[in-house]
Amino acid sequence: MFPNAKGSEEISLLATIDPSSQAVGVLTTSWISVANFHALLATVETGVLGASAMVDAQLQQALDASGTSSKIITNKSITQLQQAASGSNKYVLINCKPEELDTVNGFGFVRLSITVGVAASLTAGKLLGVNPRYATADAFNGVNVAQLI
């Protein structure tokens, strides 16, 4: 990190689960290579949760960008957010470093998965690349980043 760097030069918006009233089920980001960053940060955001709803989220790893042999990254699952326990309008951050993946067996891709149970709920999520290895982070932003000011 450099003291005069802009935030956009050190953090990339790599993939998103766009804000929505997510039906019961699972939404995921695309698979992202960890090769270009020293760390990743996932955000999980809830709005109003439906009656008795539950929200789970986790980071998963895979061998390639198509998700081959995908599995959960150890200790990268959130504690379930529940409507009955004031889980509405909450934010969760999940930190991950490339060395936390099963690199010995070739795992080098990550995605965020958000699961809603019982009732539709407002959710969103982001997968951010932090502290790039080879270029400023803005070189790696996802295609939906429309402006950088």
Q: Is residue 43 part of a domain?
A: yes
Interval 86-98: pLDDT, tens: 889 999 999 999 9
Number of domains the chain is built from:
1
Q: Is residue 103 part of a domain?
A: yes
Q: Is residue 143 part of a domain?
A: no
Q: Is residue 63 part of a domain?
A: yes
pLDDT, position 2: 65
- Domain interval for residue 61: 18-133
Residue located via tokens 């997510």? 22
Two tokens at 108?
């080098």
pLDDT, position 148: 87
Q: Is residue 127 part of a domain?
A: yes
Q: What CATH number does the domain containing 100 carry?
A: 2.60.120.20
Enumerate the β-bridge partners of residue 107: none
Q: Is residue 13 part of a domain?
A: no
Q: Is residue 52 part of a domain?
A: yes
Q: Is residue 139 part of a domain?
A: no
User: Beta strands of the chain (E only): which ranges?
Assistant: 11-22, 25-28, 32-33, 37-46, 54-62, 71-77, 81-82, 91-96, 109-117, 121-132
Is the pLDDT reported for residue 28 higher than 90?
yes
Higher per-residue pLDDT: 129 or 8: 129
Residue located via tokens 């290579």? 33
pTM of the model: 0.94
